[in-house]
A and B are shown apart, each in its own frame.
Chain A
């Protein structure tokens, strides 16, 4: 595709149960650390599942300062923080800096990873001071992604305020919606909260983040199940390629709340929802098959397996569901020449993407759709299967989806699939729904940087017939050739499939 505008990643911001910088998240994943913890956001008594990937502690003001956070619900707060971190990491600085002296030059390279353990999540980047002439961040935080690089006016084709935002999410906040409704039911409609109503729309978080950070470019929200985050990044890539934008934040956000947690539990989808005898722990209608989708059957298969408690183990023969998680992640995507013009560091290049849908139910249809998505991504990236060095898979421990994903990847990559190094970071992070694909992208860029591909925690016995021999419990160091082009796949239980090829920046090994 000669002449096409190239899209590069100039930074990222992440909020997760395992850290609030790409480097910290990556270290935790490579160490096989689990983000699961007892849920404190809501009572789990009587539910039967008690753990999830909660972001805790989460103190938004430690990132964004003491501006009034009251109008923002949890999803919006997670996103506003991720956007703050992504803008800083990519050298765009704070809102005032962008409105004033123009974009800052990004640090030439990501600051060295400190040897000490990751800082606690609450000690992250403070608010950027109002005066753009003052160096943005105190020296004490220089090891964090938002470095102490002084403001350097740089030529850029992008009016800073025209930065766009494309957000992937499944619910935005089903908690805000439900609480708004219940308050109206309990107290009468005149007691329902107008503030909550403003946040009840599914594009609320993207709108709030735009207001908070002054992002006046294209602003969109996209829902495609567990593929939302990756499809949002793909849509942003198209906006840049077609010249509609030069700089777009893209990724996902999802909160942990009672409504979705309970809902997935009753649907038998969580790793603690189904008893080893194959019966759903939930009500009689839970886990029913017969819908047009992939369905949530599999009781018979499960019956033959040993219980593995409440752990999600992607690709494992003993997997029995996913673990829910929350967070936000955004990549800063920029047109390559514009990024170069402002002196931005390039972390990776988005070489291509593909998306497809499984219109029929069942494993074969889902595998076929993912195979098409991967083939489209490879073609878009002008990349051959043998050039793919590693894979960040979507697998979550889902009984129905993981094997379909593996079969789809294998169908698209052919013999390259058998020995391909594979990670499935949901083993550690859990299923973040709308944010998952963005987490995968953030972490895979770290893998491209340092060559460490996280292992799949808990993986002991690959599911029978699963064709990804390179899926392993052990974190591995990739050869230089395996870090040049990396594949991400995102698969939704309702049929959405997306794939993306990331390339190392030109100057990387």
Chain B
């Protein structure tokens, strides 16, 4: 976008099945560790699959300081934790207290698939038990998905634009795109953008019914891949205008150079057979960022590990980057599982870190690659990353690609 404000990523926070905080998560991803284990959130004996990617041992206590964690859903707690981490990572303290940033110019954009699914599950349990009399005001206080962004903003005192973008498994990228628009338009000077989801029996049941859950391993882009593994988590990126970030001497991971959105308008749960919408999202993102395909040095794939997604994504990537392209492409879902609304936010943070550190996390579990793309199999790689692209696709045919570019000091 000519003349548009340039937007910098200056802080990263994440709570994931592979640990908490930028450093721990990044080290585990580069180390190829796996975040899968038998599900503990609920009994899976009625299912034929049992693996999940849950966040274990999470305590909201260090992060939820103003609000009462008893009155927050799990996704809100995870989101607040990631947001607090991201602000600390960016070197931004409490707004107002000596900080020159005005709360009114600080906004929140969060993505999600299910919002606070545990709250509707609790409602359903009471419904089936004939105990609806036990329902109080907590259902409507905790459940609506917008409460994730509301809780982050209340906890941190952010009084600018507040938006929840529930575009399912691409929601993190959508939230990031929205935050970029808000900043470019000068409607905020600081945005927290990310995604959050809580591990949910509803989600697990649904993907199990679709036959999409892998029984043992998540192997994106492998010929023998058997599916995805549902997960949970949250990630938040601190975004601010590049010039302001430079003025305050902030560490800049990357610039958000552009984004592209599209809709397949084809099928609710299946991607377009030629990856048509994915191609348009990537092409629009490249145009928005004024980047040529050959300038892209890394693609963070949507890469769920389902047979269909990975095949169509590979087709779409080849249509944009050319058959035989050697651009490295990897899927951290091979390690984190599919953290739903948090996934593309985590992967956006991965892109920012790849750009900042010139390292690419691997696609694990890859034994027999399908096709000829460079999937960065089974080991992280040192590689100069000037430009990274983050792909995300969702139910409803919602496609989103974002682009991160190295910022010269």
Chain A contact residues, CB within 8 Å of chain B: 71, 161, 164-165, 170-172, 174, 177-178, 180-182, 184-186, 188-190, 192-194, 197-204, 206-208, 210-211, 213-225, 228, 231, 235, 238-239, 241-242, 244, 259-260, 262-264, 266-269, 282-288, 291-293, 296, 355-360, 369, 372, 376, 492, 494-496
Contacts and interface: CB of A to CB of B under 8 A. Distances in A.
A206 B396 contact: yes
A372 B395 contact: no
A264 B71 CA distance: 17
B33 interface: no
B185 A238 contact: yes
A282 B140 CA distance: 13
Contacts of A262: 132, 135
14 contacts: A177-B120, A178-B120, A197-B209, A201-B113, A204-B395, A215-B263, A216-B277, A216-B280, A223-B115, A224-B162, A231-B163, A283-B135, A291-B68, A372-B159
Contacts of A181: 120-121, 124, 201-202, 205
A207 B395 contact: yes
Interface string B122-166: 011101100011111111110111110010011011111111111
Interface residues of B, number: 86
B257 to A, nearest CB: 15
B89 interface: no
Given A171-B144, A224-B163, A288 B268 contact: no
B209 A211 contact: no
B219 interface: no
A334 to B, nearest CB: 18
Given A178-B127, A188-B46, A285 B136 contact: yes
A178 B123 contact: yes
A177 B140 contact: no
A288 B178 contact: no
B373 to A, nearest CB: 26
A208 B267 CA distance: 8
Nearest to B71: A291
Contact of B162 (A192, A221, A287, A357): A357
- Closest CB pairs A-B (n = 10): A207-B396, A285-B136, A197-B206, A202-B166, A219-B263, A267-B137, A357-B162, A198-B268, A223-B164, A223-B146
Contacts of B137: 266-268, 282, 285-288, 296
Contacts of B123: 178, 259, 263
Contact of B146 (A170, A208, A263, A356): A170
A182 B132 CA distance: 14
A239 B284 CA distance: 13
Contacts of A241: 185
Contact of A203 (B140, B185, B267, B396): B396
Nearest to A191: B209
Nearest to A195: B268
Given A204-B395, A219-B265, 11 more contacts: A172-B166, A181-B202, A192-B209, A201-B114, A202-B115, A204-B396, A218-B262, A219-B263, A263-B123, A357-B150, A495-B154
Contact of B140 (A215, A266, A357): A266
Nearest to B148: A223
Interface string B35-77: 0000000000011000000000000000000111001000000
B210 interface: yes
A262 B126 CA distance: 13
B206 A216 contact: no
Given A211-B265, A220-B261, A284 B185 contact: no
A182 B115 contact: no
Contacts of B206: 180, 192, 194, 197, 200
B168 interface: yes
B216 interface: no
Contacts of B181: 235, 238-239, 242
B133 A283 contact: yes
A28 to B, nearest CB: 28
A266 B136 contact: yes
Nearest to A497: B162
A244 B107 CA distance: 22
B263 A207 contact: yes
A267 B144 contact: no
B174 interface: yes
A277 to B, nearest CB: 18
Contacts of B210: 194, 197
Max chain A Cβ within 10 angstroms of own Cβ: one of B112, B136, B168: B136
A376 B269 CA distance: 39
Contacts of B161: 355-357
Interface of B: 1, 46-47, 66-68, 71, 103-104, 107-108, 112-115, 117, 120-121, 123-125, 127-128, 132-141, 143-147, 150, 153-154, 156-168, 174, 178, 181, 184-185, 187, 201-202, 205-210, 261-269, 277, 280, 284, 288, 394-398
Nearest to B132: A262
Nearest to A365: B159
B136 A282 contact: yes
A244 B268 CA distance: 24
A184 B201 contact: yes
Contact of B139 (A200, A221, A266, A356): A266
Contact of A186 (B68, B128, B157, B396): B128
Contacts of B47: 189
B136 A219 contact: no
Contacts of B166: 172, 201-203, 221-223
Contacts of B264: 210, 216
A286 B68 CA distance: 17
B128 A198 contact: no
B165 A204 contact: no
A326 to B, nearest CB: 16
B261 A200 contact: no
Contacts of A288: 136-137
A357 B46 contact: no
A299 B262 CA distance: 48
A161 B46 CA distance: 44
Contacts of A216: 262-265, 277, 280
A209 to B, nearest CB: 9
B256 to A, nearest CB: 14
B138 A293 contact: no
B162 A496 contact: yes
A185 B288 CA distance: 46
B159 A202 contact: no
